[in-house]
Amino acid sequence: MASLKLSIVAGARPNFMKVAPVIRAARARGHEPILVHTGQHYDDRMSDSFFRDLDLPAPDHHLGVGSGSHADQTARVMLAFEPVLAETRPDWVVVVGDVNSTLACALVTVKLKTALGVRIAHVEAGLRSGDWRMPEEINRVLTDRVSDLLLTPSRDAHPNLAAEGIPGDRVRFVGNVMIDTLLHQLPRARVLDEPGRLGLEREGYAVATLHRPSNVDTPEALEAALAGLRAVAADLPLVLPLHPRTAKQVERFGFEGHLEGLVTLPPLGYRAMVSLLEGAALVLTDSGGLQEETTALGIPCVTLREQTERPITLTEGTNRMAPWPLTEEGILAAARTARQTGRRRAARVPEGWDGKAALRIVEELEGS
């Protein structure tokens, strides 16, 4: 098997755990991974700490784009990625997930496809929320449309792609690569004992995260979500690591008082977060990754969104949706029901969430 040159793109926090196992598997099979960090996330807590925790190699190319409006950020990734692509001439550009960097690099690549003979593989293809107000939904649909190889984390993604007219021979089920990282890091995460460090009793606390623009960008939405979390915290200590977007909005709306009674923390590193999750009685979140990680760990999860692009976590996992629109009473009721269900002891996870997705991804790249 000839060695493949793989340009692997990561930009924002949820990308780092998806590229780490792909890089490892590619190396193990004698390929040449080239890591491109767009710099969409740039500070220690949102980026560098993940490189340390996940044993990621230093990026071969750092595009340093930083924050900005969607147009500004997407355009800057495109401008910076084009010369890197032209210079490195990989066999494949591998993009993951649904952030602005994912779409920007896919778009640059498809325009240079004929000139450079490069192809695009999308890891985490086919997920759909059906909500076009979400920037991630736009990024997913457009990235899938221009990709040559669509690698899906769960079989429910396949009808979504078929409905959009994507030829089935481009689509392959490989399973969930996030779970590769979770299983790989779990023993080291446990050793950290983050709950103990915070003075929390195992299974005696809840963890929440909030960062979606729909939940944090208006005072009304943020007020309702935080009221729900405070109501849950009256029953059970609740830890809320604050995403920088959320921290910024709390300050902007003068909502510091709305955090009273919650244990707020800065964004956590990967292992610290997994350690905290693993000991939790309950998770409340608007993150996509946490819906999957809680299903893999058997921890009840309440999703604070109108819909989810990860319905398999509802049908086969431990996830449930909070009533929408979010209200204090709705969040509290969903949290109480979720707690009654309790943690799932026996491992029952969706197909392909087995720690071997990256190997299957590399095999598909080799065979396509």
Catalytic machinery residues? 211
For ligand UD1, the binding residue among 52, 133, 202, 248 (CB under 6 A) is 248
Name residue 185's amino acid.
Q
Q: How many residues bind ligand UD1 (CB under 6 A)?
A: 20
Q: Does 122 bind ligand UD1 (CB under 6 A)?
A: no
Cα separation, 348 vs 357, in Å, equals: 17
Q: Does 99 bind ligand UD1 (CB under 6 A)?
A: yes
Neighbours of 323 (CB within 10 A): 11
Sheet with 32-37, edge to edge strand ranges: 61-62, 32-37, 5-10, 92-96, 119-123, 149-152, 171-173
For ligand UD1, the binding residue among 41, 76, 184, 258 (CB under 6 A) is 41
Contact string 249-288 vs ligand UD1 (x = CB under 6 A): ----------------------------------------
Shorter beta-carbon distance to ligand UD1: residue 139 or 147: 139
Q: How far is the CB of 17 from ligand UD1 (least distance, A)?
A: 11
| H helices present in the chain, as ranges | 13-28, 49-53, 70-88, 100-116, 135-146, 157-163, 177-192, 194-197, 213-216, 219-235, 244-252, 270-278, 288-297, 312-315, 328-341, 357-367
* Partners of 7 in the β-ladder: 34, 93
Q: Does 211 bind ligand UD1 (CB under 6 A)?
A: yes
Cα separation, 103 vs 126, in Å, equals: 14
Contact string 174-203 vs ligand UD1 (x = CB under 6 A): ------------------------------
Q: Does 74 bind ligand UD1 (CB under 6 A)?
A: no
Which tokens sit at 79? 């401008």
Shorter beta-carbon distance to ligand UD1: residue 12 or 23: 12
Angle of helix 177-192 versus helix 288-297 axis, rounded to 10: 70
Stretch that binds ligand UD1, among 55-63, 93-101, 164-172, 187-195 (CB under 6 A): 93-101
Which tokens sit at 229? 């979390």
Q: Is residue 192 helix, strand or coil?
A: helix
Shorter beta-carbon distance to ligand UD1: residue 133 or 248: 248
Q: Does 47 bind ligand UD1 (CB under 6 A)?
A: yes
- Which stretches of the chain bind ligand UD1, using CB under 6 A? 12-14, 40-43, 46-47, 67, 98-100, 135-136, 211, 243-245, 248
